[in-house]
């Protein structure tokens, strides 16, 4: 008998908005089981939104569209770009507004009518075959002084020790700190990299795991009860961004966030 695979589909979507199924290719809001990953991504969008106040932005590989909507809380105009037809249909129905436009196109070729002040490309560069080429394309979309914001998971904390990559089938290449910095500096003259780390209750949970919490909850048979309550309670405030002064200081980061400007000619 074939094994039954549990499916997770977004809950409580607005009328006329088709819910998306969780496939592992992208994270989704409105799914309690996915809340950790959603909040881990959302904190970066919130952080960038504070830096694009009054600016025009293209959100490449926007997926479900929640991040595009977050950026539009401060930016004057945000264009969310995604090639996936289901994601495009969902994001168009849920997030289009006077500040948000959703476009179905390839990230490698999409070009807005006018130059923009910022391009965001979060948790996607690990999916692409030609990351430097993609970054060069993004650089060509910028107005003078514009910035590209790129995030990606840290190989050192995502994959087993010594592995070249995790088991995520959607990922082509996962980066160590020095590799990610080198990639960004290949295209831009000015690159600053931040790390995403656990904070508040997630930091306490991380410390608890270090002293054997995994063994305790399994022995007490309360794993499901605990995590069914703990995971939905995670918020973006349970993560923090810190500037990586060196590659060593980023070794334990969950994700990297690069702020890139000054395209190389």
| Structural domain boundaries, residue 45 | 32-200+240-263
Tell me how many domains the chain contains.
1
pLDDT band with cut points at 50, 70 and 90 for residue 216: confident
> 83-103, pLDDT tens digit by residue?
999 999 999 999 999 999 999
105 assigned to some structural domain: yes
Task: Give the CATH number, domain containing residue 131.
Answer: 3.40.50.150
Q: Is residue 139 part of a domain?
A: yes
| Cα–Cα distance for residue pair 25/33, rounded to 1 Å | 15
Indicate whether 156 belongs to any domain. Answer: yes
Say what percent of the chain tops pLDDT 70: 98
- pLDDT for 214 equals 92
Mean pLDDT of 160-166: 91
Instruction: Examine residue 146 and state whether it is found in any structural domain, yes or no.
Output: yes
**Which pLDDT does position 4 carry in this prediction?**
45
> Is 86 inside any structural domain?
yes
pLDDT of 141? 98
- Domain presence at residue 193: yes
What's the confidence (pLDDT) of residue 1?
43
Q: Residue 11, Cβ neighbours under 10 Å: how many?
A: 11
């Amino acid at each position: 008998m074939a094994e039954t695979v549990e499916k997770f589909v977004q809950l409580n979507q607005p009328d006329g908005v088709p819910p998306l199924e969780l496939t592992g290719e992208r994270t989704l809001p409105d799914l309690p089981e996915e809340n950790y990953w959603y909040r881990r991504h959302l904190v970066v969008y919130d952080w960038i939104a504070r830096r694009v106040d009054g600016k025009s932005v293209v959100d490449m590989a926007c997926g479900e569209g929640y991040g595009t909507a977050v950026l539009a809380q401060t930016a004057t105009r945000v264009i969310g770009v995604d090639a996936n037809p289901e994601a495009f249909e969902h994001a168009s129905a849920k997030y289009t507004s006077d500040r948000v436009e959703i476009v179905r196109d390839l990230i490698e070729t999409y070009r807005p009518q006018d130059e923009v002040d910022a391009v965001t490309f979060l948790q996607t560069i690990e999916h692409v075959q030609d990351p430097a080429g993609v970054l060069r394309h993004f650089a060509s979309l910028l107005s003078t002084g514009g910035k590209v914001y790129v995030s990606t998971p840290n190989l050192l904390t995502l994959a087993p020790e010594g592995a070249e990559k995790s088991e995520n089938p959607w990922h082509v290449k996962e980066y160590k700190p020095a590799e990610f910095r080198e990639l960004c500096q290949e295209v831009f003259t000015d690159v600053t990299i931040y790390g995403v780390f656990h904070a508040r209750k997630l930091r306490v949970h991380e410390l608890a795991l270090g002293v054997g919490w995994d063994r305790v909850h399994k022995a007490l048979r309360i794993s499901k009860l605990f995590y069914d309550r703990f995971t939905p309670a995670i918020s973006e405030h349970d993560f923090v961004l810190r500037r990586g002064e060196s590659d060593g200081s980023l070794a334990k980061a969950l994700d990297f966030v690069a702020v890139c400007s000054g395209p190389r000619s």
